[in-house]
Amino acid sequence: MGGTPTDLKLIDENGRRLDGRLADDMRPLKIEAGVLSRADGSAYVEWGLNKVMAAVYGPRECHPRHLQNPERALVQCHYNMASFSVDDRKRPGPDRRSHEISKIISEALTNVVFTEYFPRTSIDVYIEVLQANAGTRCAGLTAASVALADAGVPMRDLVASCAAGKAANTMVVDLAKEEDNFGQADIPLGYVPRTGEIVLLQMDGDLTYDEFDKGLNMAVNACKKVYEIQRDALKRRYAARSVDAEMAAPVAGAVKEGM
Amino acid sequence: MSKDVVADLKRDHISKLLDKGMRTDGRKFDEMRPLKVETNFIGSAEGSARVRLGSTEVVVGVKLILGEPFADTPNTGVLTTNAELIPMASDTFESGPPDQESIEVARVIDRGIREGHAVDLEKLCIEPGKQVWIMFVDVHVLDYDGNLFDAANIGANAAFKTAIVPAKRAGKGEDYPLPVLHQPISITAVKIDGKILIDPTHDEERVADARFTVATLETGNLCAMQKGLNGSFTVDEIHKIVNMSRKIGDEVRAKL
């Protein structure tokens, strides 16, 4: 977290953030499920200025084979940022940051997948960040769990994810890029709304205990909102399908809903 | 396969003891293993520490070289943290390029000392935009009996305290002590069968459901966290670990 440059006011007198949001407001989140043809499941997320695609292949044969687990499936996430996703071109290929994010997202998703149903297999989750504006790991995890559901992978629940943080000495949710760069702390959270479990949690910056307490609560509440949007995306996807089926067998009055 | 059988047996053993409020090595749930820190262990490093946390042993070496700053931070020195999980330390480590585990270890240690401002990186600037000190913090694991995060974090803090900036060698005036600002101490807990244990051993880590690391400052503030493994925590458990980490972090800080 860098220091606040004096010329940049992250929060104004009315409590409005640079993009007009209040402390508790998330950036606009749009999720579309089932957007890729070859993948077993997929989801596309636009979250503020973030654009993230997630695809799921599997359960399928696990490569390399020495990673196979005779008792359960391996959930392997591959988080990748496109070279054009940030202002200064990012060198293509995995770096240390993306390895770490892949690991913690794999762990978060493993928690909700019934891995014991698919011994020896791998469930591969690919997250491509096409445009980045802070919060890409949360967007990626949010997209990935919708993609897993779209692939029909049995899960205990979806994982919803959103960050809270501190900018201009105020706790806020869903940091945008300037707030991440010039703010004081960031707390990305992955949450299982049905059980109230935390499956991903990181923090960096400087927070008092009370600020952390407040931020964690704000992030949990934001995750509950994300969860509704995830569910809605899945409902829309499959509602559209059932309407398609009705269209195939002509029924008077059936109208295809636009996506 | 055989390893899993062993893990299952150990899990039974560990969880039976936990039900009685005991750990395999006789510690309380919130008790660290004995900590021994030896500084200036490596003469060829600018700062170093050998840390023994129970039977986990790591050597942390700090080296400083001259280099260019990053374009977006022209006035600050560069901090680079690396962890080598060498095959000597455990049968689970393999030689070769760093895997996800060692990358996570390095990045969590880095996050603690960077976000906690252990070293005043602005004082490591020689000529803005042109020349700064690049500080390498290299963690070498010699014996792995769990909780590398904390052993290495403690080692880094200890090494900073005694490190010297080698200005004379580089023709930049007299040598001076590394400008240390804070001591961000990380404390790691694991959850096994719903119970929270501080400073896990290798066996405890192997059967743990979830892991959580919290780095705190002498002010009581929090500067870095990382949740790991496939299991989960409740909000209350997170608060419990944060509070344990603040208390035990103070105790560790007093020993350095």
What would the pLDDT profile of A227-236 be if each residue is shown by its tens digit? 999 999 999 9
Contact criterion met (CB < 8 Å) for B111 and A187 = no
Contact criterion met (CB < 8 Å) for A204 and B111 = yes
Distance of alpha carbon B105 from alpha carbon B103, whole angstroms? 5
Nearest neighbour of A203 by CB, restricted to B222, B230, B231: B222
Average pLDDT of A103-128? Answer: 96
Find the Cα–Cα–Cα–Cα dihedral B148, A135, A215, B216, rounded to 10°: 20
Contact criterion met (CB < 8 Å) for B230 and A99 = no
Containing structural domain, residue A194: 29-248
Nearest neighbour of A206 by CB, restricted to B221, B225, B234: B221
What is the pLDDT, as a whole number, of residue B2?
A: 45
Strand-by-strand arrangement of the A74-81 sheet: A29-33, A41-47, A50-61, A121-131, A74-81
What is the pLDDT, as a whole number, of residue B142?
A: 87
Q: Which of A24, A3, A17 has its CA nearest to residue A173? A: A24
A202 close contact with B: CB closer than 8 A: yes
Residue A210 pLDDT greater than 90, yes or no: yes
Find the Cα–Cα–Cα–Cα dihedral B109, A4, A215, A208, rounded to 10°: 70
Q: pLDDT tens string for chain B (256 positions)?
A: 345 666 788 889 999 999 999 999 999 999 999 999 999 988 889 999 999 999 999 999 999 999 999 999 999 999 999 998 887 788 888 777 888 988 999 999 999 999 999 999 999 999 999 999 999 999 989 889 999 999 999 999 999 999 999 999 989 999 999 999 999 999 999 999 999 999 999 999 999 999 999 999 999 999 999 999 999 999 999 999 999 999 999 999 999 8
Nearest neighbour of A96 by CB, restricted to B107, B214, B235: B107
B194 CB-contact burial (10 Å; exposed 0-12 / middle 13-18 / buried 19+): exposed
pLDDT band at A8 (very low <50, low <70, confident <90, very high): confident
Residue A12 lies in a domain: no
Closest approach of B103 to chain A, Cα-based (Å): 6
Closest approach of A196 to chain B, Cα-based (Å): 6
A107 close contact with B: CB closer than 8 A: yes
Strands, E assignment, A7-73: 29-33, 41-47, 50-61
Distance of alpha carbon B177 from alpha carbon B163, whole angstroms? 6
A145 close contact with B: CB closer than 8 A: no
> A187 contacts in B (CB within 8 Å)?
225
Average model confidence (pLDDT) for chain A?
A: 91
A86 close contact with B: CB closer than 8 A: no
Instruction: Give the number of A-B residue pairs with CB atoms closer than 8 Å.
Output: 99
Q: Of A71, A203, A220, A223, which to mutate for an interface test with B (greatest number of B Cβ within 10 Å)?
A: A203
> How many domains does chain A fold into?
1
Lowest mean pLDDT among A143-157, A207-221, B164-178: B164-178
A99 close contact with B: CB closer than 8 A: yes
B70 CB-contact burial (10 Å; exposed 0-12 / middle 13-18 / buried 19+): exposed
The percentage of residues in chain A with a pLDDT greater than 70, rounded to a whole number, is 90
The CATH topology of domain B2-182 is Ribosomal Protein S5; domain 2 (3.30.230)
Q: Find the closest chain B residue to A66 by CA distance.
A: B1
pLDDT band at A241 (very low <50, low <70, confident <90, very high): low
Residue A14 lies in a domain: no
Q: Of A79, A91, A198, which to mutate for an interface test with B (greatest number of B Cβ within 10 Å)?
A: A198
A42 close contact with B: CB closer than 8 A: no
A77 close contact with B: CB closer than 8 A: no
* b/e code A209-240 from CB counts within 10 Å (16+ = b): eebbbbbbebbbbbbebbbebbbebbebbeee
Could you write out the three-class secondary structure of A132-175? CCCCHHHHHHHHHHHHHHHCCCCECCCCEEEEEEEECCEEEECC
pLDDT tens-digit profile of A155-199?
A: 999 999 999 999 999 999 999 999 999 999 999 999 999 999 999
A200 close contact with B: CB closer than 8 A: yes
Average pLDDT of A120-132? Answer: 94
What is the pLDDT, as a whole number, of residue B85?
A: 87
Strands, E assignment, B101-255: 125-127, 131-143, 164-165, 176-177, 185-192, 195-198, 210-216, 222-228
Nearest neighbour of A206 by CB, restricted to B100, B115, B227: B115
Q: Which residues pair with B85 in a beta bridge?
A: B141
> B114 contacts in A (CB within 8 Å)?
204
A20 close contact with B: CB closer than 8 A: no
Residue A138 lies in a domain: yes
Residue A259 lies in a domain: no
The CATH number given to whatever domain includes residue A123 is: 3.30.230.70
What is the pLDDT, as a whole number, of residue A194?
A: 96
What is the pLDDT, as a whole number, of residue B223?
A: 96
Contact criterion met (CB < 8 Å) for B234 and A213 = no
Query: Residue B222 in 3-state DSSP?
Result: strand
What is the pLDDT, as a whole number, of residue A248?
A: 63
Query: Residue B12 in 3-state DSSP?
Result: helix
Distance of alpha carbon B67 from alpha carbon B74, whole angstroms? 11
What is the pLDDT, as a whole number, of residue A252?
A: 46
Measure the N-to-C terminal CA separation of chain B; round to a whole number of Å: 42
Closest approach of A245 to chain B, Cα-based (Å): 39
Distance of alpha carbon A76 from alpha carbon A69, whole angstroms? 12
Residue A225 lies in a domain: yes
What is the pLDDT, as a whole number, of residue B10?
A: 86
> A193 contacts in B (CB within 8 Å)?
none
Residue A74 lies in a domain: yes
Distance of alpha carbon B79 from alpha carbon B66, whole angstroms? 12
Residue A257 lies in a domain: no
Q: Which of A145, A228, A174, A147 has its CA nearest to residue A47? A: A174
